Each structure stands twice: as C-alpha cells, then as structure tokens.
Structure 1
Amino acid sequence: MRICDLLNPQSVRLNVEVSTKEQAINNLVDLVAQSGCLNDAERFRTAVFDREAKVSTGLGEGVAIPHAKSAGVTKPGLAAMVVPQGVEFDSLDGKPAKLFFMIASPHHASDAHLDVLARLSTLLISEEFRNSLNSAQSVDEFLKIINKADEAEIEKENARKQKQLADEASKGSESDKAELSSSNKGYYDIVAVTACPAGLSHTYMAAEALEKQAKEMGISIKVETDGAAGNRNKLLPEEISKAKAVIVAADRIVDMDRFLGKPLIRVGVVEGIRHPKNLIKSALDPKCPKYQSGFLGSTSVSMRLYRHLMSGMAYLMPLAATAGILSAFARLDIVNDTQVGFFFDRVGYSIGTLLFPILSAFIAYSIRGRTALVAGFTGGVMADLGGSGVIGAVINGFVGGAVALLTTLFAGRFLKGHDATVALLLYPLMGALGTAAIAVFFTNIPAQFVDVYINSFFSESSVFTLIMIGALLAGMMSYDMGGPINKMAYAIGVLFLADSLPEQGPGGLVMASIMAGGMVPPIAAALASILVPQVFTSKINSLRFITLGKGLVFITEGIIPYLQTNPKIMKTACVACSALSGGLSMYFKCSICAPHGGIFIIPLCDHPIQYIISMASGIVVGIFAFSVIHLRSGSDSSVKVTVNSENT
C-alpha cells in the first residue's frame, strides 16, 4: 500500500490562508472528512484538539502533523495542506508551520495502513522532500512528489529486508538483522527505542532521525519502534548486551528492565526528532549514567517519584470510590439503622481498611515489580497500625519498593541457582520484615505527626482559610486541563479522601472543592453555547452536548475546544469560576464520598443543596465570561481559504 492510497486529491489544498492554529486544524479535519474515512467528524475533531492540548504536533522546520486515534474514524486517512505565509503552531523551534499533514486513525488500524503512515513520517525528515512539497504548483504535482519519494523509500525497505534475509541465511540466525558497523563487528554501537502516546508520526520520525544521524556519524544503530503497529524491529537480548549505549526517546511507558546496567539516555520522543546528534554523543560519552532500575533510573528524581505515586493512586481510586459510596449509602435515612445499612457499612468499612495497603503495594510494585508487592502491602498495613495515615502509606510504599530492590540485588549476587525458592520465600519475607522494621523505627512517627497536624489544621482553621484552600485547589483543576497542576490537585484530593474514609472528614471537604472545580468550566461552556449560540462557531456549537456530558461526569478536558479562542483569557475565566465554586463548597462544608462520579454521587454528599448552589454560582459566572470572551473575539467569523485555480 502506498501513501497516495490514503491521500485523495480532494483532501489536499495548496495556498491556504489561515490565521490561527484552530483554523488550521479545523480546515484539516474538514479535508479528512472529504476522503470518506470519518463516521463522526466532530468526535474526531475533539480527539485532535485533545491530543494537541497535551503536546503540540508542530515539529519544527515548518512541519506540523496533527493526528489522533478516534472511534469517529472508520479507516485510516490523510489530509495535506500548504499555508505559504505560515501560521503559529506552537512548534518546537518557535517558527510558523507551513506544511501540514493530518493523520486520522481508528483504534484498530491494520498493519499495512500503519506502515504507510510510518513511511510518511519518515519521508518528512528530508528537507529536500519538504521543500518540494511546499513549492508544488498543483495538487497533481504535490501527489507526484509524494509518489516518487514513496517508491524510493519502498525500494530501500525491500533492500533492507533482502539484506536481512541474506544475513539470516548466511549466519543461521533467527533474529532480525540490520545494518552493522563498517568494521562488521557483529553488534550495534547504540540500540534505541522510540514511542509516543498515539504511536503514529513521532515514533517513526524519531527513529528515522536517529538512524540518519548515526549513519552520518559512522555509528551503527538499531531502533525499536514501539508504535501503533506494535513493536517493530524488536531489540534482542544479545544486541542490548553488546551495545555500548541505549537511547530511549519515549513519552509513554516502555520496557526498561532489559537495559539494566547499560549507559542510557532517556528523553521525550520529540528530542529524538529535534536533537539526534546530541543524543548519540551523550549516549556514547563515558560519563553517561548507567540505568540502574525504575527507581534509580536516569530521569529526574521528582519525575520518578511522581510516576510511582500515580501508579499507586491508579489502583487506589476504584477502591476509594467503592468504599466511600457504600459507606455514604449506609448513612442515608432510608437504610440507616437497618440490616441493609449495617451490611453496606461493614462492606464499605472492610474495603476502606485495604486502602493504605493497596496504595503502598502498588507504589512498591511500580518500583520493583511483583517482588515488591508484599513489602509494599506490609508498609500500608504498618501505616494503618501506626496511625500515620496516608502520609505513612505513601512513604512506606516507597520504602517497600526500595527494600525489595535491595533484596533482589543482594539475592541475585550471592544466591544464584535458587531462583524459585528465593522468589517464593526470601523476597516477600525479607521485604515484609525490612519494611516493617523501617516503618516502626523511622517512618511512622514523623508521618503520624504530619498526618495529625494536617487534620488538626483543617479542624482549627478559620472559615476564610478553608475558603482560600478550596478556591486554590479548585482553580488548580482548571488551570492546565489534564496537565501537571491539574493532576497535582486531583492527587491531593484522592489522598486526603483515602485518609478520611470510611468517614468523609477533611478529605471529603477537599474532594468536593476539587470536583466542583473540575466540573464547572465544561458545564458553563456547554451551557453558554446552548444559551447564546450566535457568539460561538458552528463547530463549537456542535460539541456543546458532548462537552456538557463530560462536565457532568467530572471530565474537565471537555472544555479544551473552547480554549482555542483567546486561550489565556479563557484559562483565566476557567480558573475564576472554578475557584468561586470551590471556595463556596468549602464554606458550606460540602463533603464528597468518592474521587469521581460527578453528578451521580451528589445525592450522597453532605449538604447536596448547598453543593449545587456552589456549582451553580461558578457556572453562571462562567457562562457570562465565556460568552463575552467569544463575542469580543469574533469567533463566529468564517475561515478564509484561497485556492489556486489549478486546485479547483
């Protein structure tokens, strides 16, 4: 399959005039829709904007490749657009983007389609190829340039495959072989892995950039692409062991344990595209740090701690929600003091006793895998027994992971040949004893002091202080829509709630403010476009009910399409209406029993009427602010598109 099989002439436009990033994306989505590969254009449009809000797809050098996977796509498709004057696209080099390709992919695309998309990403690395496309005078010429380059790339791929087959036949190898170094030593100087969240363009562009740069430097390299088509060109254990260094350019989790003890550079996938030469030099530098483990790896300490904490919270949240909802239901008047109420209360309480052990266990699991589960679980039990609360559970989770790590390193060095016995008995026993001892003598006492202080602070603080806390946390929820500030606020809420359950306590107050802050902006934006549709674009109006649904179930990111108009002012308005609702929720002492659920758990909260009033206040302010901002921005103006006579 060739690139032009996915790129129809109707989906290509040259000499387009757009003035904003939003207009460029909307134009591209409309072009993709003309190819007939979408069953829900607006759903795909929302997915593209959501993807763009996380990391810009402006790659620099005048190229942008917006893309997304969506249920609104029936089959893979492409669209292309050239904007001669360029448009600001938050590109990595800060320069306007001129050449655009949009990739639409269903969640389960065939390997053949994904290979085509990967090949396009590879071709765009070439400056000559990009310049030729930008200079094309007609759609036919544009497609001919792509066809010619595509054929050349296919020939290269076939030649590589034939060489691999020849190597396998001559050496009797069953593994994949790639180009070796000029000295034919039989190993690679560098092995690398590239991966991005969508597994589309960035994954393959980073791989191509690294391979091209290594060839120029006379260095042999093998790159594993962990993309949407699966794990391609997989690194073999012997290739890793013989390599001088490892480069991991990935924005999602990849298998890192196989690189233990190797000099390793870990960066985002975009760095692999932008600075392959620097990465190769750094990896081969004698001072390059060796990868030691998921806990002692080469990324920053704060990022590693954050990832491990988030791993524990991912397993904690469904338990916390279940325990909180069951306990809250047991206190309702209709079942209180009945056998049914007693049953739900006992089940909720019993699940609640597992919160700290589960949180600690999966923090430890994130650090050292299954061998750390018992050590981490023990840390959570010790936090519960010692009264050190969620602070102790978090600390003991990291302690359990560290103890398990040291235990496995010690056993691997001195107790070789007894893997089964060690795994079944020594690892969990030593992990549990070590974690328990550290908890009793070192971590529980200071953690208990901090936990008691935090709870005392909430019970003794003035109303004004509580309002400020509620406003701050709620405002953080809508500051960056799924970014680090948003996640930090949510993590605080979940941990505080876990510390309070089965009673709601201070954690319930904090969670109520945070949930209000996350729900208000998308609800307000959706209602604004319903009440005054004339001030919003038709595309935004088509998303209003989807946005409303997301807001009602506590998905803050539903407002992202509305932020494309005057993003800084819109973000300020979001923070303001969220902070108002969060502050009022804290003032009324509203308390939520679960970390998610939106409107479905409001009937179970303390003071539900006041909670609705708190949210309604922020929603009213948001409706007014969003309407005025979009009205003053003239967001109902149409996009001006000028096309050459040769394209019509």
Structure 2
Amino acid sequence: MELKDLFKSKVSVFQADLKSKQEVINFLVEKLSNEKMIANKKDFKDAILKRESEASTGMGDGIGIPHAINDTVKEPCIAFVSLKSPIDWESFDNKPVDLIFMIATNDEKGEAHLGALADLSKFLMKSEFQEALRKAKSFKALQVAFNNKSEAKRVEAKEGKYDVIGITACPTGIAHTYLAEEKLIEYATELGLSVKIETQGRRGTENKLSQEDVDNAKVIILAHDKNIQGMGRFSGKQIIDTTTKDAIFNGKELIQDFGKNEKTITAKNVSSKDDEAGDDFSLKKFAQVKGNLLAGVSRMLPFVVAGGIILGIGFLIDFAMGNGNPPVMPAEWYTGWLANVWPTHVLNETGNTLTPEQIMSIGSTDWVNAWMGDFGTHSLTAGWFTAIGKTGMMLMVPILAGYISYTIVGPQGLMPGFIAGVFADGLGGVAYGTPGSWSGLWTRLIPVDIPMQSGFIGGMVGAYVAALIVFGLTVAFKKFKKSFHGIRDIVLIPLLSLLGISLAMFALNIPLGYTMYGLQQFLKLLAEHNLLILLGAILGFMMCVDMGGPINKIAYVTGVLSVSGGLGSDPLITLTMAAAMAGGMVPPLGIALCTLIFRKAWTQKEKDSAKANWLMGAFFISEGAIPFMVTDPKRISLSAMAGGTITGLMVGAFKITLGAPHGGIAVFPLLKSGLVDLQSGTAIGLGVGLYILSIVVGTVVMATILGFWKSYDIKKGKLVIVN
C-alpha cells in the first residue's frame, strides 16, 4: 500500500476556516462519520482526545497529526485539512499549525498499512512538500505532492562504518518514531556525515544496529519516549540519551556538539540478560501491576486453553465409552476397603455398632465416589488425553507466577517466581499433601490439618515477593567485582532467592490456609442445617470470585466433600457439588457469550481468545476466565458473581444433586432433582433440564451486565478498546 492511497478526496479539505484545535477535531471526525469510514464517531473521537491528552501531536513546522487506533474504524485512512489561518496546537516548537492529518486506523491492513503511515513522517519533514500542501487547493494537487519522491542523497558509509547512529522510539510507534528518524538522517546528511538510525516502532525493530555499527560510530543518539531494547550494545559507550522531540528540533546541535555538551553521558553496563527484562531494573516496575499481570497471563494462556480443551476431550471420551456410571462394586475392592477402614466405620456417631447392611452401604458410596473421582481415566484412550490436559493445566499457576516475576526483575526472577507458583498450587504434593516419604514434607510441620494451597492469587502475590527478593539481592551484590559476576548471577542470587521465596510462601500459605479452613467449616454448618438454597447461592457466588483462586477452591472442595460423604450421608447434600460446578461454568461461558452480543466492547484478540471458553466452560474449567479477569478484574468479577449467585440459587431451589466431582457436560447424566423421588427416572430428566436452565440464566445475566457495563464505560471515555 502506498501512502497516497490512504488519502480520500471526500475527507480532504483545503483552506478551511476553522478557529481552534477542538473545532478541527470535530470537523474531521464528522467528515469521517458522514463518509461511513468510522462506525461510531463518539468512540473514535474519544480515542483521538485520549491520545491528545497523553502528549501533543503538534509535530512542529505547522503540522498536526492527531491519530487513533480503534476498532470503530471501518476503512483505514488519513483525513486532511489545510487552514486559512494557523491555530494553536501546543506544538513541540510552540508554533501554530495549518496542516492537519488525522490518522484513522484499526491496524487491519497489517504491515503494508503501517509502512504507509511511517512514510507520512518522512514526507512531512520535507520543506518543499509542506509548501506544496499549503498551496494545494484540490485533491489532485495533494496527489501530485505525494508523487514527488525526491530524496536528498545520503553520505555513504566508509567500509560499512557509520559516523552517526541512533535509535528512535515513541509509545504509539506511528508518528514520532519515524519523524525523529527522518530528521536525524536529514541533519547528519546536511553535515556531510554517514548515518544509520534504528527504529523501534509499531512495525517492530527496523534497520537494527549491529555491535560493529555501535563500536565504530562517532556519534550515538538515543531518542526515545519509552524503554528501548538492546541497551547492552551501548555499555560503556558515550551516548546522548534524549527524547524524540529533542531529536526532531535540536538534532543538528546534538550531532555537532556530541561529546562536548552536558547531554553526552556514558551508558551504564547492561548485560544481555538485562536487555531481555526491558532495560528497566528499578522499583518502578513493581508499580506497573497491570502490565506485569498481563505479561504473566500471556505466557499462561496457552497452558490454560490447550490443557483445558484436551482435558475436556478426556472426560468426553470416558463418558462416550459408557464410563459415566460406575459398575457394581467388585468384591475385592470391598474387602480391601473394609480392611483399611476397620474399625473407623464399624461404630456410628453414637457409639453403636453398625449393621452389615449399613457397612455395605457406606462401602458402596465410597466405591462410587472413588470411581467418579477418577473420571476421565477409566478408558485407556481417555486417560491418554487426560494425562496431557492435566499436565498442561497443573503448570498454569507456576508459569503465571514465574513470568510476572520475570517481567519485573528479568531472568533472575523466573526461577523463584515459578517456585512461588508451585508452592501456591501445591504442585506435586512434595510440600503439601498426605505425609509420606516424599510427600507432604511441609504438611508435617503444620500443627493443624488445614488446606495450604492458595491458587493463582497466591501465585501472583508470591511472584511479587520473589521479584522483591531478587531486586534486594541484586542491589546488595551490586558492588561485586566483575570477575565475581558469574558466581553472583549463577550461584548466589538463584540460591538465596530460592530459599527466600520458599520461606516466604511457607509463611504466606499459613494464614491463607486458616482462612480457607474457617470458611469451609462455615459452609459445612449451612449444609448440616439444610439451608440448601442459601448454600447454593453462596457456593455459586464463591466459585466466581477468583476463578480458581482460594475462595473458588474452598467452594469446590466443599462440593467434593459432599460427594465423598464429608458433609453427611443425606443424598441431597450433593447439591453442594452441583451448585459449585454450575457456578464455576458461568464465568467462561458468560465471557464467551458477551463477546458475541457486545462485539464492540472487546478487542479482536479478546474475541478470538474467548472462543475457547465455550468448550472450557462446558467442561467446568473456570480458569478460562482468569486471563480476562486479570485485565479487567472489577467488571469481570462482579458480573460473574451476579450470574454465579443466580445460578447457584436456582440449583438450590431445584434441589439438584450431583455424584461426580468434575466433568461439566460429561457428567450431566448423573444429575438428579430432589423435587421428585431421587430414585426415579424422572429425577434424572428433571435434574438435567433444570440444571441447564440454571446455567443458561446465570450465563445470560453475567453477559448482559458485563456487556452493558463495558459499553457504558466506553461511551463515557473510561474504557478505550484498542486493537
């Protein structure tokens, strides 16, 4: 795509009589809307104004480039207006503007589109081009101006060695990056110097500087308004570290006075490892909570989506092969069970001896629970898929925690962050679990039998603690001699950070474990007093609070206890499991439905990711909602809690029971409704139908609340959707 193709005659106006910046923006937005190039002029205008509030788009030389990347743009284009009289635009050079280019894009044109926008910056730096536009009175004259591609001849590098090198980068990577590049090239050429400028813009890194380029350069200018990658190349070199604005307007002086003025500094020694971390090893990184969490989620997402879908396939295969209902309890299982539980089950709570029939009944219940607890593993084919899915899913929290820590402090944070996630989720059972020779080693040190896993919330907290430990150790060892850097980086920091995060997680998991234990006992009390409707609503609510975190886990464990008999032998008590599973299915399904009904409230990437939530929600994998909740915790959590509460309430009201601890739609045939005799066939049909109804209602409620909430905030300018 050529640059001139982005200009359209219907949105190009010449010698307009407009008196202010606001008037120009309103005028151009109205033009784009009237010509159907944007679908929603308010959304687009809000995006333009948001960009204006971040930094001036007055480039100097009488030029203004307001721009926005927004999915409301139907046809990427550049709206142009030249003015009769210049107006104030708060430009870099404090001069008024009379040439305004409004860039409207949704990025759908990809590389070619970005290339055309980058070329605009190069044209705008040419004085003859500016003059041609000021004289233009028709669209044809504008096209003629763009056809003039004459460029000043650059000075050739001698033996591949450049006199002037530099890097330019701005937050959006569209305008300032390429304007600064073009001006530095112009200034160097004017001074008779060879030049090479690397750009780190929206198209990625271009004209990348090699270490040889850096070593042989006479002048190095880093003009940027965001962190730049590859600072390790400049370690120990004299550089000018400045802004794109300074390079655009003072670049000639920067080149001429290099090494003489106060802006010339010596670059700090930066290792390649530090480059990977983003060249910003400071406490400021800890405050960038959203960015840190997003970095962790982006690495975690493949584990959640791929593992969850494959796990669901395992459940489905087991059910399809007739393994949804347990077979008759084999005699050898009963004999072995009786030997293990004797005399635990021989006496009832009053101390009276149980009858053989009662003992057999307990054994049968435990057999069913044991069988259904292994659902997805009974068939060899299902087990093959389940093993893959389980392996992928169980790495979710460690990957999340590891990469959050990595983002904050770089590669040194990956290992302790990953370990924090392992301890938070109890992965492997080595630290937490039933004590054995190689399991439950930390459990032995805890005086009370309580759950110690803190889920993905513990992983996130642990990631920050791990990063803080690494940061402290790095600062403490900063003055090590260079000859000892290998020992510091390979031995000391990893060793001490591992010990530090392990001690921290051991301490953090204790209060969280007691909290989980107390809430679990409260729910058990509700179940014992037959407050089933209230219990259902509470469990549905809890399953949606943190989607896989400690509160979610409490509700789920309570459901599992009901299946295993831990909450009593009343068949209706398994309503706890039914409510927990239904509530856990709502968040991923609600998000998926919302992306279909309220498409403009989501980015294209979010809409694509949400497609997997249909399958994950159907198989009771709540974690599919986590990536969305991390980026928008308030709206996602509250809307999910509303939907989950209603679903749980309906499950309680319909007295729906479930004898399996997992599986989603794969175990629907095991559902029963206590509104009729639980032993009748009607109980199954009624249970399945009402259960589906409960989930559908909760899903619609969540999607509706979330969609209207996001849409309202978008209109008010509180939320901007950028693709």
**TM-score normalised by the shorter chain: which range applies?**
0.5 to 0.7
Question: SS of the residue aligned with 2:300?
Answer: helix
Which of 697, 700, 708 is 1:613 aligned to? 697
C-alpha separation in 2, matches of 1:504 and 1:219: 71
Which of 230, 238, 247 is 1:255 aligned to? 230
Consecutive unaligned residues of structure 2, counting only runs of 5 or more, are: 325-370, 378-382, 432-441, 443-451, 527-532, 560-579, 614-631, 650-662, 669-690, 716-723
Question: SS of the residue aligned with 1:341?
Answer: coil
C-alpha separation in 1, matches of 2:39 and 2:10: 21
AA at the equivalent of 1:205:
L
Question: SS of the residue aligned with 1:398?
Answer: helix
Cα distance, 1:394 vs structure 2: 1.5
The C-alpha deviation readout for 1:256-284, integer Å capped at 9, x for no partner, is 44355679999997998799999999x95
Cα distance, 1:356 vs structure 2: 3.7
Q: Cα–Cα, structure 1 residues 311 and 580, in superposed 2: closer, same or farther, change >3 Å?
A: closer
* TM-score, normalised with respect to structure 2: 0.50
Partner of 1:361: 402
C-alpha separation in 2, matches of 1:583 and 1:627: 19
AA at the equivalent of 1:582:
A
AA at the equivalent of 1:193:
T
Cα distance, 1:227 vs structure 2: 4.0
- Asked if 1 retains the 8 angstrom alpha-carbon contact of 2:2 and 2:116, the reply is yes
C-alpha separation in 1, matches of 2:502 and 2:693: 45
Q: Are 1:394 and 2:463 an aligned pair?
A: yes
Cα distance, 1:204 vs structure 2: 0.5
C-alpha separation in 2, matches of 1:627 and 1:373: 37
Consecutive unaligned residues of structure 1, counting only runs of 5 or more, are: 34-40, 180-187, 475-491, 527-539, 556-573, 592-600, 632-648
AA at the equivalent of 1:341:
G
Q: Are 1:438 and 2:437 an aligned pair?
A: no
Partner of 1:316: 300
Partner of 1:121: 121
C-alpha separation in 2, matches of 1:584 and 1:455: 22
43-52 vs 393-402, which moves further? 43-52
Q: Cα–Cα, structure 1 residues 291 and 136, in superposed 2: closer, same or farther, change >3 Å?
A: farther
- Asked if 2 retains the 8 angstrom alpha-carbon contact of 1:28 and 1:79, the reply is no
Question: SS of the residue aligned with 2:301?
Answer: helix
* TM-score, normalised with respect to structure 1: 0.55
Partner of 1:60: 58
Cα distance, 1:448 vs structure 2: 1.7
Cα distance, 1:50 vs structure 2: 11
C-alpha separation in 1, matches of 2:499 and 2:633: 45
270-279 vs 77-86, which moves further? 270-279
C-alpha separation in 2, matches of 1:139 and 1:83: 11
Which of 160, 166, 174 is 2:160 aligned to? 174
The C-alpha deviation readout for 1:596-616, integer Å capped at 9, x for no partner, is xxxxx9968997644432343
AA at the equivalent of 1:413:
K
AA at the equivalent of 1:612:
V
Question: SS of the residue aligned with 1:192?
Answer: strand
- Asked if 2 retains the 8 angstrom alpha-carbon contact of 1:65 and 1:100, the reply is yes
Question: SS of the residue aligned with 2:198?
Answer: strand
AA at the equivalent of 1:99:
I
Partner of 2:334: none
- Asked if 2 retains the 8 angstrom alpha-carbon contact of 1:194 and 1:223, the reply is no
- Asked if 2 retains the 8 angstrom alpha-carbon contact of 1:26 and 1:45, the reply is yes
C-alpha separation in 2, matches of 1:496 and 1:510: 14
Partner of 2:178: 204
Q: Are 1:452 and 2:452 an aligned pair?
A: no
Which of 617, 642, 663 is 1:584 aligned to? 642
Question: SS of the residue aligned with 1:310?
Answer: helix
Q: Cα–Cα, structure 1 residues 84 and 604, in superposed 2: closer, same or farther, change >3 Å?
A: farther
AA at the equivalent of 1:120:
L
Q: Are 1:192 and 2:167 an aligned pair?
A: yes
Question: SS of the residue aligned with 1:316?
Answer: helix
Q: How does 1:81-96 map to 2 (within 5 A)?
A: 81-82=80-81, 84=83
Q: Cα–Cα, structure 1 residues 612 and 67, in superposed 2: closer, same or farther, change >3 Å?
A: same
The C-alpha deviation readout for 1:51-95, integer Å capped at 9, x for no partner, is 86985698236623547699x999xx8644227599x99999999
C-alpha separation in 1, matches of 2:247 and 2:505: 43
Q: Are 1:99 and 2:100 an aligned pair?
A: yes
Q: Cα–Cα, structure 1 residues 129 and 373, in superposed 2: closer, same or farther, change >3 Å?
A: same
The C-alpha deviation readout for 1:238-264, integer Å capped at 9, x for no partner, is 565678876362668733443556799
Q: How does 1:332-351 map to 2 (within 5 A)?
A: 334=319, 336=324, 337=371, 341-342=376-377, 343=383, 348-351=389-392
The C-alpha deviation readout for 1:117-144, integer Å capped at 9, x for no partner, is 4332133357896576356322233344
C-alpha separation in 2, matches of 1:225 and 1:439: 39
Q: How does 1:143-162 map to 2 (within 5 A)?
A: 143-147=143-147, 150-151=149-150, 154=151, 156=152, 159-160=153-154
Question: SS of the residue aligned with 1:247?
Answer: strand
C-alpha separation in 1, matches of 2:584 and 2:421: 22
- Asked if 1 retains the 8 angstrom alpha-carbon contact of 2:516 and 2:551, the reply is no
Q: How does 1:208-357 map to 2 (within 5 A)?
A: 208=182, 223-227=197-201, 231-237=205-211, 240=214, 247=222, 249=224, 254-259=229-234, 284-285=262-263, 290=268, 293=274, 294=277, 296-297=280-281, 300-303=284-287, 307-323=291-307, 334=319, 336=324, 337=371, 341-342=376-377, 343=383, 348-357=389-398
Question: SS of the residue aligned with 1:226?
Answer: strand
Q: Cα–Cα, structure 1 residues 394 and 547, in superposed 2: closer, same or farther, change >3 Å?
A: closer
C-alpha separation in 1, matches of 2:237 and 2:225: 17
The C-alpha deviation readout for 1:453-491, integer Å capped at 9, x for no partner, is 764697669999x999x99x99xxxxxxxxxxxxxxxxx
Q: Cα–Cα, structure 1 residues 412 and 625, in superposed 2: closer, same or farther, change >3 Å?
A: closer
- Asked if 2 retains the 8 angstrom alpha-carbon contact of 1:69 and 1:106, the reply is no
- Asked if 2 retains the 8 angstrom alpha-carbon contact of 1:81 and 1:100, the reply is yes
C-alpha separation in 1, matches of 2:498 and 2:311: 30
Cα distance, 1:581 vs structure 2: 3.5
The C-alpha deviation readout for 1:290-323, integer Å capped at 9, x for no partner, is 5754375368333556544433322223323455
C-alpha separation in 2, matches of 1:404 and 1:218: 49
15-24 vs 428-437, which moves further? 15-24
Question: SS of the residue aligned with 2:376?
Answer: helix
Q: Are 1:496 and 2:549 an aligned pair?
A: yes
Look at both structures and tell me which one has the larger radius of gyration over its CA atoms. 2
- Asked if 1 retains the 8 angstrom alpha-carbon contact of 2:125 and 2:182, the reply is yes
Cα distance, 1:378 vs structure 2: 4.1
The C-alpha deviation readout for 1:608-641, integer Å capped at 9, x for no partner, is 644432343466679999999999xxxxxxxxxx
Q: Are 1:136 and 2:136 an aligned pair?
A: yes
Question: SS of the residue aligned with 1:99?
Answer: strand
AA at the equivalent of 2:696:
I
Cα distance, 1:509 vs structure 2: 10
The C-alpha deviation readout for 1:132-181, integer Å capped at 9, x for no partner, is 63563222333444455x43xx1x2xx11xx12xx41xxxx334x255xx
C-alpha separation in 1, matches of 2:664 and 2:511: 31
C-alpha separation in 2, matches of 1:266 and 1:288: 10
Q: Cα–Cα, structure 1 residues 73 and 548, in superposed 2: closer, same or farther, change >3 Å?
A: closer
Q: Cα–Cα, structure 1 residues 319 and 235, in superposed 2: closer, same or farther, change >3 Å?
A: same
C-alpha separation in 1, matches of 2:84 and 2:211: 49
C-alpha separation in 2, matches of 1:219 and 1:299: 40
The C-alpha deviation readout for 1:471-530, integer Å capped at 9, x for no partner, is 9x99xxxxxxxxxxxxxxxxx95783899499688999998786588567655556xxxx
Matched-pair identity in %: 18
